[in-house]
Amino acid sequence: MNRLSVARRIASNIHGFRSVHRTLCSNTGVKIPGLVSEKEKFSLTEPELTDDIPQYDIAIVGGGMVGMAVTCSLATMPLTKQLNVAIIDSNPALVNNFHIKKEDPPDPRVSTVTPATISFFRDMGAWKFVQHHRHAYFDKMQVWDYTGLGYTKYNARDVDADVLGCVVENKVLHKSLLLCIQDTDFQKTIYSSRLSSITFPSKSSMPSSSGTSSSACGSSARLELDNGNSIYAKLVVGADGSKSCVRELARIQTTGWRYSQSAIICTVEHAEENYCAWQRFLPNGPIALLPIGENFSNIVWTMDPKESVDRNSMSEDDFVKAVNHALDSGYGPHPQSKLFEGGNLFSWFKADVPSTHEGFEVPPKVTKLASQRLAFPLSLMHANSYASKRLVLVGDAAHTVHPLAGQGVNMGFADALSLSKVIAEGVAVGFDIGEVTLLKKYESERRTANITMMAVLDGFQKAYSVDFMPINVLRALAFNGAQYISPLKRKIISYASGNQSLPFFT
């Protein structure tokens, strides 16, 4: 199948799937003892039973960052805080009161959260917990090409903002959401198990006028867990990642492809603190240097799979040398700040933003490796449907993207906010929260936004995977156009910050 036909499939409207009962996922999960301290407000006791099986409003499968963001958003909205929610995840971090110590080394798994995501966390009350731990705001970013033909600098002042984003370790984001939920009286039960199967109600399963418990079960999805437990839920939220068991059990097809690239992530240390985000496009993929607080930065280095194996097996000293080589003058010269200024084709644009007049800078030197190196393959994936009766997908269960712009987790958090708002709208008018007509409102909003972002990121990936002089010149024009055309620069910053409008069309 060629890429054009695949892209058309992504953009097409997919009809809802029929009710099914499937047991396609592995049942090899480990049961974690459900022990929590008295302070923990997560309930591990069974709620009121229906036919001896617990009945919930919502079952969230996956207790990672996006799953907990859905929970936290529901817990802090006036219309949804009375809902009864089950969280299904075998991760012991959900039931063990783990602490993040200041002296702990930085984790290589980080996220660059946008101003829109920061606002989401603040509105929920979770951002105050992030601020108790290591994090790094950045107000400047420099992007350039290995050919030395172009670069772009972005500054928060270009859009009258304080920051462009914030880099936070994933464990800090996750812990902050957990603490925020614990600060509420939200009814939640954690099942330290894995999902084995789901039985969706048939169209004929309608509650009777008597309103009996069995009728309530008949209109709910039944979830079987690998420890033998079962629960009912009016709505199942699949937040269980790119290899989603929920998506597989529901037989939701996906469209996408694997990139011929892998990424290495790790934490590095500098002699002094880094306050800027840096990204350089190299022949085999981009390398990013992101501040994470104190004297630490995070590396996200994309390359071909064989090179990733070689880089991962290097000694620490050799790897540090390779990183500095890639971020400095390796592969090509530094861009010349005056190359496109003066009497060039961009001179007729009014340069009225601060970063337009900022020259190229060399990133700070890396002095040593501060964490293990992790490597993983890269791919693009999009679910052909996000919603059906009693089921909805969020985050990586619905879409995965190339990490070159750090937008993946922000797309997931936007899903979480959108879904919780749609559920709140349904509650406000007394609607069945598992009804497909309600859930399609969420899909309609997020599908368009996600496909647009995926197309932009995939376009960047392809444009910078070709080393051909005419293409190199076009890329240089794009870099310098973004550098010197102030309205375009503002639009790019706004879109990357979480504004859903496209840079070129608004």
Kindly report, residue by residue over 164-184, the tens digit of the pLDDT. 999 999 999 999 999 999 999
How crowded is residue 193: how many other Cβ atoms within 10 Å of its Cβ? 22
Distance CA(317)–CA(239), nearest Å, equals: 39
**Quick one: how far is CA 124 from the chain centroid?**
18
Distance CA(141)–CA(467), nearest Å, equals: 24
According to DSSP, the residues that pair with 223 across neighbouring strands are 198, 231
Which residues touch 62 (CB under 8 Å, ≥6 apart)? 88, 89, 237, 238, 239, 240, 241, 244, 246, 395, 397
The predicted structure's pLDDT at residue 462? 84
Name the amino acid, one letter, at 137.
Y
On whether the CB atoms of residues 296 and 268 are closer than 8 A, the answer is: yes
DSSP output for 11-71: HS--PPPPP-EE--S---PPPPP----TT---B-S--SEETTEEEEEEEEE--SHHHHHHH
The predicted structure's pLDDT at residue 481? 83
Q: Is 341 helix (H, G, I), strand (E, B) or coil?
A: coil
The predicted structure's pLDDT at residue 95? 83
- Sort residue 256 into left (φ over 0), alpha (ψ -120 to 50) or beta: left
Which pairing describes strands 254-269 and 374-383: parallel, antiparallel, or unpaired?
antiparallel
Whose tokens are 């090899």? That residue is 28
Distance CA(178)–CA(331), nearest Å, equals: 44
Structural domain contains residue 172: yes
Distance CA(276)–CA(219), nearest Å, equals: 53
The predicted structure's pLDDT at residue 10? 42
Two tokens at 445? 């909003």
The closest of 389, 404, 475, 401 to 434, measured between CA atoms, is 389
How crowded is residue 418: how many other Cβ atoms within 10 Å of its Cβ? 19
On whether the CB atoms of residues 401 and 452 are closer than 8 A, the answer is: no
Two tokens at 129? 């917990």
Radius of gyration of the chain (CA): 24
How crowded is residue 504: how many other Cβ atoms within 10 Å of its Cβ? 9
Distance CA(452)–CA(506), nearest Å, equals: 14
Name the amino acid, one letter, at 268.
V
How crowded is residue 257: how many other Cβ atoms within 10 Å of its Cβ? 12
Q: Is 134 helix (H, G, I), strand (E, B) or coil?
A: coil
Structural domain contains residue 35: no
Distance CA(82)–CA(71), nearest Å, equals: 12
Q: Helix H segments across 337-468?
A: 408-428, 436-463
Two tokens at 334? 């530094």
Whose tokens are 């068991």? That residue is 245
Structural domain contains residue 506: no
The closest of 266, 267, 269, 264 to 285, measured between CA atoms, is 264
Whose tokens are 């390779």? That residue is 322
Structural domain contains residue 24: no
Kindly report, residue by residue over 7-60, the tens digit of the pLDDT. 444 444 333 333 334 444 543 333 333 333 333 333 333 344 445 899 999 999
Which residues touch 213 (CB under 8 Å, ≥6 apart)? 50, 51, 55
* pTM for this model (two decimals): 0.86
Structural domain contains residue 15: no
Distance CA(332)–CA(204), nearest Å, equals: 66
**C-alpha neighbours within 13 Å on the C-beta side of residue 275:** 6
Regions of the chain short of the pLDDT cut 50:
1-24, 26-50, 204-214, 340, 342-343, 504-506
Q: How many domains does the chain have?
A: 1
Distance CA(221)–CA(361), nearest Å, equals: 56
Q: Is 131 helix (H, G, I), strand (E, B) or coil?
A: coil
The predicted structure's pLDDT at residue 51? 59
Name the amino acid, one letter, at 341.
E
Q: Is 223 helix (H, G, I), strand (E, B) or coil?
A: strand
Structural domain contains residue 77: yes
Sign of the four-CA dihedral 110, 465, 355, 481: negative
Structural domain contains residue 45: no
- Sort residue 175 into left (φ over 0), alpha (ψ -120 to 50) or beta: alpha
Which CATH number goes with the domain that contains 326?
3.50.50.60
Structural domain contains residue 454: yes
On whether the CB atoms of residues 301 and 267 are closer than 8 A, the answer is: no
- For residue 78, give its domain range: 55-201+218-497
**Quick one: how far is CA 53 from the chain centroid?**
34
